Amino acid sequence: MKLAGKTVLLTGAASGIGRAQALMFAKEGAKLIATDINQEGLDTLLEDINALGGEAIVVKGEVSDSAQVAGTVKAGIDEFGQIDILCNTAGIFDNYATSLETDEVKWDKYYAVNVKGPYLMCNAVLPGMLARGKGVIINVCSIAGLTAGVGGAAYTSSKHAIVGYTKQLCLEFADKGIRVNGIAPGSVATPLIRKSLENDADGYSKRIAMIPCGRLGDPTDIANLTMFLASDEAEWIHGAILSIDGGRFAKG
């Protein structure tokens, strides 16, 4: 029960990595505010958390909408009193679209969810954390934030942006008791990845061949690292972007 007495706000909680994180947070004793645009997925998640004996509320909301973000944060504080940990997991993938294949509307959409969303969430919870002199922020950044070729133009550049934002937040708030870190997953068997590899056996085989350990990541792999960074065991880790990719980019 590493997070007993702590409250976590988690975005992108309805499926994939976010769902695995939510269940692990609940198992470790955290009170959870889970948000996503997928109401059905949130409802199923809440049923599963209740079955575990956990405490949670779910709030349907779009992370790129400041009014909805404010509403989500208010609902969480009204229910649990404060937010100790923010985990920004929500994100959208561009299926390797090149710059010329990405129109302005799509570009803005990827940046709205992948960059503006974490920015809005951080600014909404930071005042409370600063008032208490303690807090944890974890941004899911992706390996695409560290190298090219893991996504398209919009996804890759947006993930590079969130890596930079994570490091800047650390510099701004580490001396005020706020720990900010990022997680950079490689290929994880989420609905997002499965959809991109649908009916592409050759593409799947090529992807596996690039991973030294021989398998895609599981959402629980990412949840395990998230749990560590959220806990007091990671107290001296600040401003890190931790790769978790089965060794894919060990060569640099």
Q: Which of 110, 111, 155, 165 is catalytic?
A: 155
Q: Which long-range contacts (CB under 8 A, 24 or more apart) does 64-72 make?
A: 64/112, 64/113, 64/116, 64/117, 64/120, 65/120, 66/120, 69/117, 69/120, 69/121, 69/124, 70/124, 72/9, 72/33, 72/35, 72/124
Beta strand pairing call for 241-244 and 31-36: unpaired
User: Is 165 among the residues known to form the active site?
Assistant: no
Distance CA 9, CA 108 (A): 25
Residue 1: count other Cβ atoms within 10 Å of its Cβ. Answer: 9
Catalytically annotated residues: 155
